[in-house]
A and B are shown apart, each in its own frame.
Chain A
Amino acid sequence: MSENVLRLENITMQFGGVVAINDLSLEVNKGEIVSLIGPNGAGKTTVFNVITGVYEATNGAVYYEDKMILSNHPQGKMKKMYAGTNADKFPDVIVKTPDRITSLGIARTFQNIRLFKSMTVFENVLTAKHMLKTSNVFSTALRLNYKEEENARNETMQLLERLGLDDVKEELATSLPYGKQRYLEIARALATKPKLLLLDEPAAGMNPQETMALTSFIKSIRDEFDLTVFIIEHHMNLVMDISDRIYVIDFGKLISHGVPEEVQNDEAVIKAYLGVSEEDE
C-alpha cells in the first residue's frame, strides 16, 4: 500500500439544513492522479473548498501526509441540525485559513478562473512565490533580499518556459486566450511548490484537441514535479484516460469508487448521470 498524501475522514459539510457533503471518506495516494466526478451540484467544488480551508467542515477530519490538518465536529446550533453520523469521532477542532493550507504544500486552481487581473502573466506567477520568501517587509523594501528576489524571478521564468507561456509573459493575464489562462492558473499553483495539486475543472471550455493536450500535460507535470494530482472534471475522455482511481459523488454522497473500468460499468453511476426511468423505480 502506498503512502497517503490526502485522506478525508467522514467529512460532512452542511450549510444550515442543506447537506452539501454527506459523510465522505476518500484517500489520495502519493503519485496518483485521482478524479472526483459527479453530476452538477453534487458538491465536488465544496470538497475542494473544505480541503483548502475555505469552508469549515461541519464534521470530519482531513489528513495530509498522515497528519491531521483540519478537524471539526458539530458545534452550537449545528448540533441540532446535524444530519450525519460520527459526530463524536472527532473531538479536536483544528481550523486553518487557506494560506496555511497552501503553505503546507496543497495548491489549487479555480473552476471559474481567478487570475490577478491587473498583473502580467509573469507577475501572476511571481506573486505566488511570495509565500516562499523568508525576508521581512523592511528588508524587501530596502532590497536587502535581492538574491531571493532574483531566485524567485529565475524560477518563475523557468516555470513559464516549461509551460509554454514565456512568449506572453509581459501581457496582461486577462488578455490571454481562455485555454492559456487555464495553463497560467496551473503555473501559478505550481509556483508555490506544492506536493498535492487540486485542479478544479481544468478542461472546462476546452475543445477535444485542447483537452487531449491537457491530459498529456497533466501527466507530464505529475512526473516532472513529483506531484500528486486530485482533479475535478466533467470531460469523461480526460477522466477515463488520466485517472488512476475515480471517486463519484452525487448529492454529496459517495456512490462509487474504483479504477476507471469499474466506475464506468457501475449501475449507480449510470443512474446518477442519466437519471432513472420511471419504470425502473
Chain B
Amino acid sequence: MKKSRKDMVFNLSLVALIFIAVIIVENIPGVNPMLSTVLKKGSIYALVAVSMNLLNGFTGLFSLGQAGFMLLGAYTYAVITIPDSAREKVYMYVKEGSAVSRSWFDNIANGLHLPEGVSNIAIMIIGMLAGGLIAAFFSWLIGLPVLKLKSDYLAIATLGFAEIIRAIFQWDKLGPVTNGSNVLRNFPTFKTAVFPLTVSAICILFIVLLINSTYGRAFKAIRDDEIAAEAMGINLAHHKRLAFVISSFFAGIGGALLAMFQNTLQATPFKSAMTYEILLIVVIGGIGSVSGSIIASFLYISASEWWLRGLDSGKFLFIESPAVLRGGFRMVVFSVIIMIIVLFFRKGIMGERELSVTRFLNFFRKKDGKNEENS
C-alpha cells in the first residue's frame, strides 16, 4: 500500500511539473510551434491509446473499432457545438439545412448571464461528454452480439463496424445532421495545449484508478484465464461489456478532442489506418502498461509530426538531398524504425510494468547492497 502511494505522489507531481513546463513553454515566444502541436496531438493520442490499452491490454479483448468510436465522439461534439449563427454557412451544401440547434444551451447560458469564456468552456465539456456517451451507447449496442466472439473474430467485427460507421456518416441522406461528406467547421476549439492535456490527464487518471480497483483485477483475470475467472464468480459478459463501453467512452472523448485539434472535421481520416496507428502506439508502449502508452504516443507523434518531417522536404539533420529525401520518404524511414522496435523490443518500451519511482530506487539500492557484499 505504502509503496504504491509513494508512486502515486511521484506520478502526480510529475504530471504537475509537466503542466507548469507546458504553460511556460507556450508563453515563450519563438519556441518551435511544432512542440505545441506535439503536445496537443500527443495528449489526445495518449488518451485514445490508454483507452485502447484498457480493452486490448488489460481485458484481453482484441478490438479494432477505436477509430469508429472516435468518429462518433468527434461528430457528436461538432454537431452539438457549432454556433447557430455559423450553421447556415457550414451546412450550405445541404438542402434542408442543419437539423440540430444549440439554442437550448444558449438560452440557458444567457439566462444565467454566463460570460462568453465560461459558456464556451461549458459547451465544450457538454459536447465532449455527449460525444463520449454516444460512443459508449453504440459500443454497448454493438457489444451485445460482438463480444461473444473471440480474438481475431472480434477484431474483424469491430473493424467492420468502424468502417460501416464511417460510411454511414458520409451518407448524404444524413446531411442535415452530419453534413454528409462535407466539412464541419466553426465549432469551438482550444488554443493552448493546456486544455487537451487537462482533459486527457483527468480521463487517464480515471482509467488508472479503475485498473487498480477490484474491477481492474477482474478485467485482468479475464485476460489471464477466462474459465478460471468465470469459476471465481466473475460474470464474463457483464465485465467484457463494461470494459468495452468504458474504453469507447474515452475513445469518444478523444475523438472530440481530435476534432477540436483539427479545427475542421471530416469522416475520411477516421479510417482503419488511424486504429492501426493507435494500436502501434499501444504495442510500442507495451501492451498492459498505461505509462508505456503515454510515453509511446508522445514519441510517435513527435517522430511522425516533427522529427522526421524533414525527410519529406529534402532536409534532414545536416543532409540536404532533394533527390532522395522527398515526399513519402518519411514513411519509409518510419516503417523501418517501427520494424526495429517490434523486432528488438517485443514487449514494447515498458512491457507490462508502469513508471515507478520505488522500483527505480530499489534498483539502485539493490546494486549498492550487492557491491557492499562483494567488498
Answer yes or no: A73 CB below 8 A from chain B CBs: no
> Of A52, A126, A141, which is within 8 A of B231 by CB?
A52
> Of B213, B224, B234, which is within 8 A of A140 by CB?
B213
Q: Is the CB of B214 within 8 A of A152?
A: yes
What chain B residues lie within 8 Å of A100 (beta carbons)?
235
Instruction: Give Cα A149–Cα B209 distance, bound, in whole angstroms.
Output: 13
Known contacts A114-B227, A137-B242; A143/B209 CB under 8 A: yes
> Of A118, A130, A145, A149, which is within 8 A of B232 by CB?
A130
What chain B residues lie within 8 Å of A79 (beta carbons)?
none
Number of interface residues of A (CB under 8 A): 37
What chain A residues lie within 8 Å of B173 (beta carbons)?
none
Known contacts A97-B235, A102-B232, A131-B232; A114/B225 CB under 8 A: yes
Q: In residues 187-232 of chain B, which contact A (Cβ within 8 Å)?
A: 206, 209-210, 213-215, 217-218, 220-221, 223-225, 227-232
Instruction: Give Cα A249–Cα B15 distance, bound, in whole angstroms.
Output: 63
> Of B206, B217, B246, B288, which is within 8 A of A123 by CB?
B217
Q: Is the CB of A131 within 8 A of B224?
A: no
Q: What are the interface flags for A96-128 relative to B under an 8 Å C-beta threshold, 1 for contact and 0 otherwise?
A: 011110110001101000111111000100111
Query: How many A-B contacts at CB < 8 Å in the complex?
Result: 102
Q: Is the CB of A188 within 8 A of B236?
A: no
Q: Is the CB of A127 within 8 A of B210?
A: no
- Kindly provide the distance from the CB of A258 to the nearest chain B CB, expressed in whole angstroms: 30
Q: Is the CB of A141 within 8 A of B236?
A: no
> Of B218, B223, B224, B228, which is within 8 A of A130 by CB?
B218
Instruction: Give Cα A131–Cα B239 distance, bound, in whole angstroms.
Output: 12
Instruction: Give Cα A73–Cα B188 distance, bound, in whole angstroms.
Output: 62
Q: Is the CB of B209 within 8 A of A188?
A: no
Q: In residues 147-187 of chain A, which contact B (Cβ within 8 Å)?
A: 149, 152
What chain B residues lie within 8 Å of A128 (beta carbons)?
232-233
What chain B residues lie within 8 Å of A140 (beta carbons)?
210, 213-215
> Of B206, B229, B233, which is within 8 A of A103 by CB?
B233
What chain A residues lie within 8 Å of B227 (beta carbons)?
54, 98, 110, 114
Instruction: Give Cα A100–Cα B213 distance, bound, in whole angstroms.
Output: 22
What chain A residues lie within 8 Å of B277 (beta carbons)?
none
Q: Is the CB of A119 within 8 A of B220?
A: yes
Q: Is the CB of A141 within 8 A of B213?
A: yes
Q: Is the CB of B228 within 8 A of A118?
A: no
What chain B residues lie within 8 Å of A1 (beta carbons)?
none
Answer yes or no: B106 CB below 8 A from chain A CBs: no
Number of interface residues of B (CB under 8 A): 28
Answer yes or no: A142 CB below 8 A from chain B CBs: yes
Answer yes or no: A133 CB below 8 A from chain B CBs: yes
Instruction: Give Cα A98–Cα B288 distance, bound, in whole angstroms.
Output: 27
Q: What are the interface flags for B227-257 relative to A under an 8 Å C-beta threshold, 1 for contact and 0 otherwise?
A: 1111111111100001000100000000000
What chain B residues lie within 8 Å of A110 (beta carbons)?
227-228, 231
Q: Is the CB of B214 within 8 A of A130?
A: yes
Known contacts A108-B231, A142-B209; A116/B224 CB under 8 A: yes
Q: Is the CB of B214 within 8 A of A114?
A: no
Q: Is the CB of B210 within 8 A of A141?
A: yes
> Of A107, A115, A130, A189, which is within 8 A of B234 by CB?
A130
- Kindly provide the distance from the CB of A193 to the nearest chain B CB, expressed in whole angstroms: 10
What chain B residues lie within 8 Å of A189 (beta carbons)?
232
Q: Is the CB of B235 within 8 A of A127?
A: no
Answer yes or no: B305 CB below 8 A from chain A CBs: no
What chain A residues lie within 8 Å of B215 (beta carbons)?
130, 137, 140-141
Q: Is the CB of A116 within 8 A of B220?
A: yes
Which residue from chain A places its CB closest to the CB of B288 in the assembled complex?
Answer: A118
Answer yes or no: B352 CB below 8 A from chain A CBs: yes
Instruction: Give Cα A93–Cα B228 distance, bound, in whole angstroms.
Output: 25
What chain B residues lie within 8 Å of A152 (beta carbons)?
214
What chain B residues lie within 8 Å of A116 (beta carbons)?
220-221, 224-225, 228-229
Could you list 16 further interchain pairs (A-B, Cβ under 8 angstroms) beyond the known A97-B236, A100-B235? A97-B230, A98-B227, A99-B230, A99-B231, A99-B233, A114-B227, A114-B228, A116-B225, A116-B229, A119-B221, A126-B217, A127-B221, A129-B214, A140-B214, A141-B213, A141-B215
Please, could you name 6 A-B residue pairs with CB atoms under 8 Å apart, sorted by A?
A: A99-B232, A107-B231, A114-B231, A116-B225, A140-B215, A188-B232
